[in-house]
Amino acid sequence: MHSRRNFLKTSSLVSLAPLLPTVLGKTAVAAKAASDEQVLVVIQLDGGNDGINTVVPFGDDAYGRSRKKLRLKAKDLHKLNDHVGLHQQMKAAKELFDDGRLSIIQGVGYPNPDRSHFASMKTWQTARLDTADHTGNGWLGSALDAQMAAASKPNQSANANAIFVGDRETPAALWGRHSSTIGLSKAADLQLDASEETRSAQPTGPGADDLQQFVRQQIVTAHNAAEEFAKQSADKSTDVTYPNSGLGNQLKLTAQLLRSGNPARVYYTVQSGYDTHSDQQFTHARLLSEFSRSMKSFLDDLKAAGLADRVVLMAFSEFGRRVAENDSAGTDHGTAGPVFLAGEPVRGGLMGATPDLSDLVDGDLKSNLDFRRLYAGLLRDWLKVPPARICGGDFEPLNLFA
Amino acid sequence: MDHWAPYQPNDDAPWNVQRIVHLHRRAAFAATWSEVQRDLEEGPASAIERLLDGHRRLELADDFTRMAESIGDAAMASNSPIRLRAWWFYRMVKSPDPLGERLTLLWHNHFATSNRKVNNLIWMREQNEIFRAGCRGSFGELLSSVLKHPAMLTWLDADANRKGHPNENMARELLELFTLGIGNYTETDVLNSARALTGWSIKDDKFAHRDSRHDACEMTVLGKTQKMNGDDLLRLTLKHPATAKRIAWRLCDHFMGERVCGHEAIHELADEIAKNEFDLSHAVATILRSQLFFSAENLRSRISGPAEHTVATLRALELTTPSPSTLLLADWSSRMGQDLFYPPNVGGWTGGRGWLGSRAVIAKTNFGTALATGKLWRSRNIDKIETDLTAMLERNSVNPSQQSRTEWLATLLWGSVEDRAVSSVIDAAKEAKHPLARIVELLLAQPEHMLG
């Protein structure tokens, strides 16, 4: 009964829409009401981020010994304590850290690490160590499946549960048995090209039956969403500037989607280029700068939009890199690395023990922390689904939230 | 067969333009006005049989077959998924057997397999041809050919399923999605079905049974205890009454409107399917010839899927010569939510109301604008579309008044004049520089056009 009443209210307003565009805009609020649940945004740092030159253990004597050409000077770093500091290009991340909006979880990995990009990425995406299990569904797709199953009534929404922002294939992390993901690379997919006349000649009055009513409601909702989205895009009043780069634009689009009331619970995007086998210094600095500034713009943007309490961002890479640099001023595939968790709701600060650069296995860092404990914390406390099935076992959830 | 009694035109359900448009929207990709007139004259039996017999006409259409082949081969050579999709759109737009293409869509959804994991366009195309060739045969044969093909074997990890290390993926989807449906089997049935399927593998791009990996012990599946291989398992699932029911549901889901087929109608159709040894031709014919199919409640009660929506709109408006860019059609279908050869998951597209998420509505509306402004073609523009539409209306002797043209176009697209939509369209197109293109753009954005 409730939804019918809402609809009639909406449609009677819409009948006046050609004359009253602002009224039409306001009805979008009704469409937004259902989408006030927690959202997870994931950034995949693709290629294997050199965690050691990201969260730099300048206080570890072994650091200078293993990094001759690539050593970052302690005085340039953004120090987090007297032992570790962020790369000099990560000023924005340091500000978030100081503000309590960034947790850095150190030394995250898994037992018997695989140094293949593909296998290790699949491990992270499926939360399964055995490559034989890598063809299954992803941890986020399964989480969304669990949310759908737990919902008291079946999902009536015609909208996707997850959005992949990017133009490559949807990552395995988002594959689910029932949940659905759309890929979105361009804002154009959410913009109406139709002539002014077509936009205003939209349905008036209730439909003759339930189905027709549904169709009309969906059209009204979509047009409102497009209008809201266009307004967001055109809106200059937001002071937030994003880096004009791939990741910057992807996060900007994500923020627009969130502001326009899109009901997806998971957003996923990729920053590529971390496979720095040679002449790493400049590339890595550029990537970390882009990452850290984009992340800060995104969080500031959400804060200004009043969405900061609803959204948490996680950034991970499939592995870190070897402790010792190679002969080409680069680094080769390694093991454990830091994971970033950002947003108003997170605890903030450094978590997990700093990896010891002298305590290595075959020249690689030991992982202090299984990534599935991190997932378990996110699943239990943020996406609100039982973690064990998704993680393939009982992992003690990390306490990630304030 | 109370529910599926043959259709006889009567006062409640006369044979008229609306029912002909309905038939072609559901079982083909819409009809042109001259096809509507032909069917009106010849009557329902002839109209339905022509669709059912489409494959015979396909056999004679050498030009079409040759052209489709060469487009398909070029897609393989370029190893480009978008070109494989374009190949299928070419078939949908031009095939003399539209019902065959609709059924291919249906089985692509039932046996939803995605190239994102299969990663082999040759296999994806072969699977598509299996659907096309098998859509009028027996379901049992279709099931077996689809499952024992590298695309599905890869998609559902058949190779990882070995004696002593069962992988349940294929077994579970076989029981849950392809045959019985959820609730008709136990977890033990899944596990033992996986054991029965051990040994299924791929060798030299073909199905192969590796005896050494097969679990040759006795096992119990669905109450039967015996030594069992994959073929035995498929036979067993076909005997289970739930399978006929699931196939009946699948067909009704594709051809019938929302909530038109109740539990009893599905049950009755399932009985008919089981009695006729899963002959899919017979099942489809039973539906299309039925009173229920032509009943008033079944008209305009289904949200059309992206691929059919795209192709049907162009075909009804006679805008297929020169052919629109099939690459673009495939892209529009993706934007509406149907990325052919890349279904969202093993369950396929949910369809129905799921086709009208915000992004899909925006895409459908924008598609109408792209069509009306000539953007679906490499070298057309709104002037040319206006000319084409004017010529098409003249060919069909439509009275040139704005009112008559709009009503006629609405009838062509939807089968009936919807007064509200028509008057709002006429109103909004009054000042347009290209009145026909504008009317069409407006009609394609109406809620009425989302239904079929």
> Which conformational region is residue B71 in: left (phi greater than 0), alpha (psi within -120 to 50 degrees), or beta?
alpha
Length of chain A: 402
Name the residue among A337, A322, A244, A336 with its Cα closest to residue A276. A322
Amino acid at B162: R
pLDDT computed for residue A391 by the predictor: 96
pLDDT computed for residue A157 by the predictor: 58
Question: Which pLDDT band, with edges at 50, 70 and 90, does A185 fall under?
Answer: confident
The token pair at B223 is 């109450």
The answer, yes or no, to whether the previous bond of B322 is cis (omega within 30 of 0) is yes
Three-state helix/strand/coil letters over A217-232: HHHHHHHHHHHHHHHH
Residue with tokens 């406390």: A381
Tell me which of B358, B375, B426 to substitute to probe the interface with A (most A C-beta atoms closer than 10 Å): B358
Amino acid at A90: M
pLDDT computed for residue A117 by the predictor: 87
pLDDT computed for residue A205 by the predictor: 65
Q: Domain residues for A47?
A: 38-198+239-391
What is the model's pTM?
0.80
Looking at the complex, report in whole angstroms how far the Cα of residue B209 sits from the nearest Cα belonging to chain A.
Answer: 20
Helix axes B306-316, B17-27, angle to 10 degrees: 130
B357/A201 Cβ within 8 A: no
Low-confidence ranges of chain B (pLDDT < 70): 1
Domain boundaries, chain B: 17-52, 156-279+291-300, 306-450
| Sign of the Cα pseudo-torsion (B374, B380, B383, B389, in order) | negative
342-381 in chain A: CB under 8 A from chain B:
none
* Whole-number average pLDDT of chain B: 95
Residues 6+ apart with CB under 8 A from B325: B86, B376, B377, B378
pLDDT computed for residue A34 by the predictor: 42
Paired strand residues for A39: A311
Phi and psi (nearest 5°) for B289? -90, 0
Question: Which pLDDT band, with edges at 50, 70 and 90, does A33 fall under?
Answer: very low
Cα gap A274→B408, rounded to integer Å: 60
Residue with tokens 């950002």: A342
Tell me which of A145, A195, A199 to substitute to probe the interface with B (most B C-beta atoms closer than 10 Å): A195
The token pair at B429 is 């197109």
Amino acid at B427: D
Looking at the complex, report in whole angstroms how far the Cα of residue A377 sits from the nearest Cα belonging to chain B.
Answer: 27
pLDDT digit string (tens) for B262-289? 999 999 999 999 999 999 999 999 999 9
Across the range A8-17, mean pLDDT stands at 33
146-185 in chain B: CB under 8 A from chain A:
157, 160, 167, 169
The token pair at A395 is 């992992």
A176/B442 Cβ within 8 A: no
Phi and psi (nearest 5°) for A248? -55, -45
- CA distance readout (Å), B115 to B13, B90, B346: 44, 20, 12
- CA distance readout (Å), A200 to A196, A243, B357, B432, B449: 6, 36, 20, 14, 16
Size of interface A-B (CB pairs under 8 A): 132
Strands A311-317 and A337-342 come out as antiparallel
A135/B356 Cβ within 8 A: no
Burial of A314 (0-12, 13-18, 19+ CB in 10 A): buried
Question: Which pLDDT band, with edges at 50, 70 and 90, does A3 fall under?
Answer: very low
pLDDT computed for residue A13 by the predictor: 33
66-125 in chain B: CB under 8 A from chain A:
116-117
Instruction: Using alpha carbons only, give the angle B51, B259, B338 rounded to the nearest 5 degrees.
Output: 60
Cβ count near A1 (within 10 Å): 5
pLDDT computed for residue A238 by the predictor: 61
Residues 6+ apart with CB under 8 A from A219: A202, A203, B356, B361, B365, B447, B450
pLDDT computed for residue A213 by the predictor: 83
pLDDT digit string (tens) for A317-368? 999 999 999 888 999 989 999 999 999 999 999 999 999 999 999 889 999 8
DSSP letter, residue B177: I
Q: Is residue A205 part of a domain?
A: no
Q: Is residue A320 part of a domain?
A: yes
Across the range A395-401, mean pLDDT stands at 97
Cβ count near B148 (within 10 Å): 20
pLDDT computed for residue A29 by the predictor: 37
pLDDT computed for residue B151 by the predictor: 98
pLDDT digit string (tens) for A193-216? 887 777 777 666 667 788 888 888
pLDDT digit string (tens) for A220-257? 878 887 887 787 677 644 678 999 999 999 999 999 88
Cα gap A177→A64, rounded to integer Å: 48
Phi and psi (nearest 5°) for A55? -110, 95
Tell me which of B328, B359, B402 to substitute to probe the interface with A (most A C-beta atoms closer than 10 Å): B359
Q: Is residue A1 part of a domain?
A: no
Q: Per-residue pLDDT for A10 more than 80?
A: no
Looking at the complex, report in whole angstroms how far the Cα of residue B65 sits from the nearest Cα belonging to chain A.
Answer: 32
Q: Is residue A209 part of a domain?
A: no
Residue B14, chain A, CB below 8 Å: the answer is: no
Q: Is residue A125 part of a domain?
A: yes
Percentage of chain B beyond pLDDT 90 is 87
Cα gap B1→A398, rounded to integer Å: 61
A226/B428 Cβ within 8 A: no
Nearest to B356 among A158, A175, A191 (CB): A158
Nearest to A201 among B169, B301, B425 (CB): B425
DSSP letter, residue B323: P
| Sign of the Cα pseudo-torsion (B416, B419, B421, B426, in order) | positive
The token pair at B132 is 């096309």
Q: Is residue A157 part of a domain?
A: yes
Burial of A204 (0-12, 13-18, 19+ CB in 10 A): middle
State which residue of chain B sits closest to A15, comparing Cα positions.
B424
Radius of gyration of chain A (CA): 23
Contacts of B303 in chain A (CB under 8 A): 211, 215
Instruction: Choose the weakest-confidence range: A13-22, A67-76, A372-381.
Output: A13-22
Q: Domain with A377 in it: what CATH number? A: 3.40.720
Name the residue among A41, A40, A42 with its Cα closest to residue A316. A42
98-137 in chain A: CB under 8 A from chain B:
132, 135-137
A198/B345 Cβ within 8 A: no
pLDDT digit string (tens) for B49-83? 999 999 888 888 999 999 999 999 999 999 999 99
pLDDT digit string (tens) for A124-161? 999 999 877 887 789 999 999 999 888 865 545 567 78
Q: Is residue A222 part of a domain?
A: no
- Please state the domain count of chain A: 1
Q: Per-residue pLDDT for A30 more than 60?
A: no
Contact A298, A92 (CB under 8 A): no
State which residue of chain A sits closest to B302, comparing Cα positions.
A211
